[in-house]
C-alpha cells in the first residue's frame, strides 16, 4: 500500500512532477548518449590503431623496442611467421623489417620509419591498402615502389610516381641510399602516423641493409576476434620461445588507458549531471513535505510510525527520479542504438579530430552494464534527495500539524 | 468499567512572554460505551484536552490511563502503536488521504496493523456499508460530499476496533442535514459496537445527542452532567 500511496502522491501535482521527470530524463539522456559517444570514439580509435598501425599482437627480439637496432632481428622469422599463421583464429601474420631512415624529395628531407613488408602478407594484417587515396598499393611501379602517407607527401611536396631518396645505415654502419618511386599515397586520418611511416617491399629493404633474407624485426599478427586474443597470445608465446610477444594493450598502453580514462570520465560526468538534478529533486520533495504537513500529522496521529513516514517520502523521491531516469535511459539507449548504425557526422570539425587520430564519423557504443549502473546511481540520487525532506517530515508534531488550516 | 482515567491533567504553553495554562488540572473518568460531548467556548482547552487524551499532545503534568496504561509513560514508538490499536480519530476537516479511495482509506489503518488482506477487505466493506456509503467504496475523497467524507472518516476510526473514538468538532464543516445523519450514524455505531465516543464541540445538535456533557472553561471542568437518552 505504501508503494501505491507514494506512486499516486507523485501525480497529485502533475505539472511539478512532470517538470522534474522531464529534467531527470533529459539529464540522463544527455549522460547516456555522451557516454555512448565517448565509448564509441574510444573504441573506434582503438580499432583503427589495431587495424592501421599496431595489429593485435607483435613479436620482436627482446630489446628491439627500446634500441631499434638494425641487428636486433628475429632469425628464422620467415619460418616462424609461417607457423604462426597455422594457429587457430590467426587471420594473418606479416614479417616486417623496420628501420629508421631519412627520406628526401627534390625539395626537402625528413626522418621516417620504414617498414619493409610483403604487400600480400601485410594486407592480411593491416588495412593500409584500403586507405590508398592516390596511386595503388605497391602496384604500377616495378622497381623500388614506396607507399607514403598523405601528410608526408604534402610535406615533401611529392605525388604518385615522384622520386624519393631513402638514406639509411646498413649492417656494417655504412650510410647508403636507394632511389624509390611513389606507388601509392595513403591516409589513416592520423596525421602523426601518416607523416612518419612509409612502406617498401621487404626484399628491397633487406638488400639495402644487407640483412639476411629470412629475418624480421617485427612479426605483426591479426586475429578474427578480440575475444580470442589471450588464447592466441599464449600459443604465439609457445612458438616464439625467448622472443618478446606483446598484445596491443602492452604495445600501446596509452590506448588501453584511453578506454579506462573515458570510462572514469563518463561516470564523473554522470555524477555531475545527477548532482545538478539532485537539488531540483530536493526542492520538489521539500515542497511536497511542506504542503502535506497536515496530512503527515494526520498519518502520524492514526498510527503511521516514523519509519513508514520516512519510507513513504523516500519511495516518492525514488519513484520520481527513477521514472525520469528510466525514460532518459530508454530514449538514450534507443538513440545510441540508432547512432551505432547511423554514425554521427563530425566532418565539419574533422580536421581537429583527425589530427588527434579520431574518426569524423562516430558510431555510438553503449555498454549495458553502464545502464544498470546509471539506474543504481539514479536510485541513490532519489534516496539522497529524500533525506532532508524526510527528516523535516519526521520533525512534524501531529498535534501542531493538525491545528494547521 | 472505566476505560479512561484522567488525573490532574495540566498543559502549559510557554510562549516567549507569557505562560498559558490551556488545561488546568482536569480529573475525569470515561466508561466503556459512553457518548460524551466536551463543550466550552473557543480557547477553553477542549482540543488540547482531547489531544492529550489521544496521545498527540504531551501534558505538562498529570496522568492519562487507558485500560490501566499511563500512555504518556510509553516510548514514542509504543505510543504510536498504542494510538493505532486503541484510539480512533475523527477530525473537523475529515483529513482523509486524498490519493486513496474511500475503501483504501478505511483499509489503510488495518494495513498498518498488519491484518491479512482478506480480513481487511471484508471489514472495509462491512464498515462502509454500515456507515451507508458501501456504493462509494472506489471513490476518492474529492468525489465525495463533506458528509460522505466524514462517514468514511468514522468508518476509518472504527476500522482498527479502538477502545474509543475522539472526534474534534466533527460536524463543524457539515450542513444541518449531514450533521443530523452523521450524529445518527455515530450514535448507532456507539450502540452497535459499544465504542466510546468523545466529542469536542460547540454544536448544540451534538450536545442534544450526547449522554454526558462535560463543560470546560479556562482549562477546568466546570460542569459534568449525565442524561438519559
Cβ neighbours of A300 in B, within 8 Å: 80
Q: Which three cell numbers stand for residue A79?
A: 619460418
Instruction: Pick the range with the lowest mean pLDDT from A180-184, A229-233, A325-329, A346-350.
Output: A346-350
Q: What is the ipTM of this complex?
A: 0.89
User: Which region among A30-44, A254-268, B52-66, B205-219 has the lowest average model confidence (pLDDT)?
Assistant: A254-268
Question: Nearest residue of B to residue A306 by CA position?
Answer: B77
Q: Is the Cβ pair B160, A403 closer than 8 Å?
A: no
> Residue A128: which of A149, A107, A111, A114 has the closest Cα?
A149
Residue A260 has pLDDT above 90, yes or no: no
pLDDT at res. A388: 95
Greatest Cα-to-Cα distance within chain A, rounded to the nearest angstrom: 102
Q: How far is B47 from chain A (nearest CA, A)?
A: 9
Say whether residue A12 is in contact with chain B using an 8 A CB cutoff: yes
Test A302 with B85 for CB contact under 8 angstroms: no
Mean pLDDT for back-to-back runs of 10 residues, chain B (229 residues): 84 82 90 91 89 91 91 91 91 89 94 93 91 90 91 90 88 85 86 89 88 92 84
Report residue A323 as a C-alpha cell. 521514472
Any chain B CB within 8 A of the CB of A403?
Answer: yes
pLDDT of residue B39: 93
C-alpha–C-alpha distance, residues A317 and A1, integer Å? 16
CA neighbor of A198 nearest in space, from A163, A133, A148: A148
Residues of A in contact with B91 (CB under 8 A): 298, 402
The answer to whether A9 contacts B99, with C-beta atoms less than 8 Å apart, is: yes
User: Are B54 and A8 within 8 A, CB to CB?
Assistant: no
- Nearest of A52, A20, A204 to residue A128 by alpha carbon: A52
Nearest CA in chain B to A7: B99
CB A341 within 8 A of CB A29: no
A155-187, pLDDT tens digit by residue?
A: 999 999 999 999 999 888 899 999 999 999 999
End-to-end CA distance of chain A: 27
CB B182 within 8 A of CB B14: no
Which of A150, A249, A259 has its CA nearest to residue A195? Answer: A150
A18–B contact, CB cutoff 8 A: no
Yes or no, beta carbons of A305 and B107 under 8 Å apart: no
Chain A closest CA to B162's CA: distance in Å?
A: 11
Determine the pLDDT at residue A357.
64
Q: What is the pLDDT of residue A303?
A: 87
| Shortest Cα–Cα distance, B228 to chain A (Å) | 32
* Percentage of chain A exceeding pLDDT 90: 65
Q: Do A302 and B83 touch (CB under 8 A)?
A: yes
Work out the pLDDT band at A44, boundaries 50, 70, 90.
confident
CB A180 within 8 A of CB A145: yes
B160 touches chain A (CB under 8 A): yes
At A350, the pLDDT band (50, 70, 90 cuts) reads low
Report in angstroms the alpha-carbon separations of A12 from A7, A18, A316, B99, B120: 9, 11, 12, 8, 26
Cα A365 from Cα A374, distance rounded (Å): 16
Q: A276 and A283 in contact (C-beta within 8 Å)?
A: no
**Got the DSSP string for A227-273?**
GGHHHHHHHHHHHHTTSEEEEHHHH-HHHHHHHHHHHHHHHHHHHHH
Strands, E assignment, A105-186: 109-117, 132-135, 145-149, 163-169, 175-186
Q: How far is CA A217 from CA A207, A220, B17, B118, in A?
A: 15, 10, 95, 82
Which residue out of A17, A298, A302, A305 would a mutagenesis test of the B interface target, given it has the greatest number of B Cβ atoms within 10 Å? A302
Interface touch B77/A305, C-beta < 8 Å: yes
- Contact between A12 and B77 using a beta-carbon 8 Å cutoff: no
Q: How far is CA B93 from CA A205, A294, A295, B89, in A?
A: 97, 10, 11, 11
Greatest mean pLDDT among A131-145, A338-352, B13-27, B177-191 lies in: A131-145
Calculate the CA A133 to chain-centre distance. Answer: 26
How confident is the model at residue B115, as a pLDDT? 93
Distance CA A193, CA A115 (A): 13
pLDDT over 90 at A240, yes or no:
no
Q: Which residues of B touch A9 (CB under 8 A)?
A: 99
**Average model confidence (pLDDT) across chain A:** 90
- The answer to whether residue B80 neighbours chain A at the CB level (below 8 Å) is yes
Given a contact cutoff of 8 angstroms between Cβ atoms, the answer to whether B112 and A304 are in contact is yes
pTM here is 0.79
Residue A138's contacts (CB-CB under 8 Å, 6 or more residues apart) are: A119, A145, A147, A183, A184, A199, A201
* Backbone dihedral angles phi then psi of residue A143, each to the nearest 5 degrees: -105, 125
pLDDT at A100: 93
The reply to whether B83 touches chain A by the CB within 8 Å rule is yes
Is the CB of residue B51 less than 8 Å away from at least one CB of chain A?
yes
Strands A145-149 and A197-201: what pairing? antiparallel
CB atoms within 10 A of CB B13: 13
| Pair B113, B85: CB distance under 8 Å | yes
CA distance B64 to chain A (A): 16
- Chain B residues whose beta carbon lies within 8 Å of the beta carbon of residue A1: 104, 107-108, 111
Q: How far is B58 from chain A (nearest CA, A)?
A: 9
Smallest CA–CA distance, residue B149 to chain A, in Å, is 15
Smallest Cα distance from B34 to chain A, Å: 21
Q: Is the pLDDT of residue A355 over 60?
A: yes
Q: For residue B177, what pLDDT is reported? A: 85
DSSP A316: H
Residues of chain A positioned with their CB less than 8 A from the CB of B158:
none
Confidence at residue B42, expressed as pLDDT on a 0 to 100 scale: 86
Cell of A92: 594473418
Chain B: nearest CA to A285, how far in angstroms? 17
pLDDT of residue A65: 87
B80·A304 Cβ contact <8 A: yes
Contact B100 A304 (CB under 8 A): no
Per-residue H/E/C for chain B? CEEEEEEEEEEEEECCCCEEEEEEEEEEEEECCCEEEEECCCCCCHHHHHHHHCCCCCCCEEEEEECCEEHHHCCHHHHHHHHHHHEEEECCCCCCCCCCCHHHHHHHHHHHHCCCHHHHHHHHHHHHHHCCCHHHCCCCHHHCCHHHHHHHHHHHHHHCCCCEEEEECCCCCCCHHHHHHHHHHHHHHHHHHCCEEEEEECCHHHHHHCCEEEEEECCEEEEEEECCC
B82: closest chain A residue by CA: A303
Contacts of B108 in chain A (CB under 8 A): 1, 302
Kindly report, residue by residue over A290-317, the tens digit of the pLDDT.
Answer: 999 999 999 998 889 899 999 999 999 9
> In this structure, what C-alpha cell is assigned to residue A297?
500529522
Please state the rounded mean pLDDT for residues A117-141.
Answer: 91
Q: Does A404 reach chain B within 8 Å, measured CB to CB?
A: no
How many angstroms away from the CA of A403 is the closest CA of chain B? Answer: 9
8-state DSSP, A378: H
pLDDT-derived band at A356 (thresholds 50, 70, 90) equals low
3-state secondary structure of A393: helix
Of A96, A45, A92, which is closest to residue A211 (Cα–Cα)?
Answer: A96
Residue A106's Cβ-count burial label (10 Å; 0-12, 13-18, 19+) is exposed
pLDDT value, residue A85? 92
- B-chain residue closest to A11, CA distance: B99
Comparing alpha-carbon positions, the chain B residue that sits nearest to A403 is B47
Q: What's the confidence (pLDDT) of residue A316?
A: 94
- Partner-chain residue, chosen from B56, B93, B100, that has the shortest CB–CB distance to A398: B56
Q: Does A298 touch chain B (CB under 8 A)?
A: yes
Residues of chain B with Cβ-Cβ distance to A401 below 8 Å are none
CB A123 within 8 A of CB A112: no
Amino acid at each position: 500500500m505504501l508503494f501505491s500511496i507514494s506512486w499516486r502522491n507523485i501525480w497529485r501535482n502533475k505539472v511539478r512532477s512532470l517538470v522534474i521527470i522531464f529534467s531527470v530524463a533529459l539529464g540522463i539522456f544527455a549522460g547516456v548518449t555522451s557516454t555512448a559517444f565517448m565509448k564509441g570514439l574510444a573504441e573506434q580509435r582503438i580499432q583503427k590503431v589495431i587495424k592501421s598501425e599496431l595489429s593485435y599482437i607483435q613479436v620482436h627480439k627482446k630489446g628491439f623496442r627500446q634500441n631499434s637496432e638494425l641487428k636486433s632481428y628475429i632469425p628464422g622469422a620467415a619460418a616462424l611467421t609461417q607457423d604462426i599463421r597455422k594457429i587457430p583464429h590467426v587471420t594473418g601474420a606479416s614479417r616486417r623489417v623496420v628501420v629508421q631512415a631519412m627520406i628526401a624529395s627534390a625539395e626537402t628531407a625528413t626522418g621516417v620509419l620504414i617498414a619493409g613488408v610483403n604487400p600480400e602478407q601485410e594486407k592480411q594484417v593491416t588495412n593500409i591498402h584500403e586507405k590508398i587515396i592516390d596511386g595503388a598499393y605497391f602496384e604500377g611501379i616495378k622497381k623500388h615502389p614506396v607507399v607514403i602517407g598523405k601528410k608526408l607527401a604534402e610535406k615533401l611536396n611529392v605525388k604518385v610516381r615522384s622520386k624519393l631518396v631513402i638514406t639509411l645505415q646498413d649492417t656494417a654502419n655504412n650510410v647508403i641510399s636507394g632511389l624509390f618511386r611513389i606507388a601509392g599515397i595513403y591516409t589513416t586520418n592520423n596525421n602523426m602516423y601518416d607523416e612518419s611511416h612509409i612502406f617498401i617491399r621487404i626484399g628491397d629493404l633487406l638488400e639495402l641493409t644487407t640483412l639476411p633474407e629470412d629475418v624480421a624485426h617485427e612479426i605483426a599478427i591479426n586475429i578474427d576476434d578480440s575475444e580470442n586474443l589471450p588464447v592466441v597470445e599464449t600459443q604465439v608465446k609457445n612458438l616464439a620461445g625467448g622472443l618478446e610477444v606483446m598484445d596491443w594493450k602492452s604495445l600501446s598502453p596509452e590506448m588501453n588507458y584511453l578506454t579506462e580514462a573515458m570510462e572514469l570520465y563518463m561516470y564523473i560526468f554522470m555524477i555531475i549531471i545527477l548532482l545538478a538534478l539532485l537539488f531540483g529533486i530536493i526542492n520538489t520533495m521539500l515542497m511536497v513535505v511542506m504542503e502535506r504537513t497536515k496530512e503527515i500529522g494526520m498519518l502520524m496521529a492514526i498510527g503511521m510510525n516514523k519509519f513508514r513516514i520516512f519510507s513513504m517520502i523516500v519511495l516518492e523521491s525514488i519513484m520520481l527520479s527513477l521514472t525520469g531516469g528510466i525514460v532518459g535511459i530508454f530514449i538514450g539507449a534507443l538513440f545510441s542504438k540508432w547512432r551505432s548504425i547511423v554514425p554521427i557526422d563530425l566532418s565539419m570539425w574533422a580536421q581537429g579530430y583527425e589530427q588527434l587520430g579520431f574518426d569524423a564519423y562516430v558510431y555510438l557504443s553503449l555498454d549495458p552494464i553502464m545502464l544498470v549502473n546509471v539506474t543504481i546511481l539514479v536510485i541513490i540520487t532519489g534516496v539522497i534527495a529524500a533525506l532532508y525532506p524526510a527528516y523535516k517530515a519526521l520533525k512534524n508534531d501531529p498535534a501542531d500539524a493538525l491545528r494547521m488550516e | 468499567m472505566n476505560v479512561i482515567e484522567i488525573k490532574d491533567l495540566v498543559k502549559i504553553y510557554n510562549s516567549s512572554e507569557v505562560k498559558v495554562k490551556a488545561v488546568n488540572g482536569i480529573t475525569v473518568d470515561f466508561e466503556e460505551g459512553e457518548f460524551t460531548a466536551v463543550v466550552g467556548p473557543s480557547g477553553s482547552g477542549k482540543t488540547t484536552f482531547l489531544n492529550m487524551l489521544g496521545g498527540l499532545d504531551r501534558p505538562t503534568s498529570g496522568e492519562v490511563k487507558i485500560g490501566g496504561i499511563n500512555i504518556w509513560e510509553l516510548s514514542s514508538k509504543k505510543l504510536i502503536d498504542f494510538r493505532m490499536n486503541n484510539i480512533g480519530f475523527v477530525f473537523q476537516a475529515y483529513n482523509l488521504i486524498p490519493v486513496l479511495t474511500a475503501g483504501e482509506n478505511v483499509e489503510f489503518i488495518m494495513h498498518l496493523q498488519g491484518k491479512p488482506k482478506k480480513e481487511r477487505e471484508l471489514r472495509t466493506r462491512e464498515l462502509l456499508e454500515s456507515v451507508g456509503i458501501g456504493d462509494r467504496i472506489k471513490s476518492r475523497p474529492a468525489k465525495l460530499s463533506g458528509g460522505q467524507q466524514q462517514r468514511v472518516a468514522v468508518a476509518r476510526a472504527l476500522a482498527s476496533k479502538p477502545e474509543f473514538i475522539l472526534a474534534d468538532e466533527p460536524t463543524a464543516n457539515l450542513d444541518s442535514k449531514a450533521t443530523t445523519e452523521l450524529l445518527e450514524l455515530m450514535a448507532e455505531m456507539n450502540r452497535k459496537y459499544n465504542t466510546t465516543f468523545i466529542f469536542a464541540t460547540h454544536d448544540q445538535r451534538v450536545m442534544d445527542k450526547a449522554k454526558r456533557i462535560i463543560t470546560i472553561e479556562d482549562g477546568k471542568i466546570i460542569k459534568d452532567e449525565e442524561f438519559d437518552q
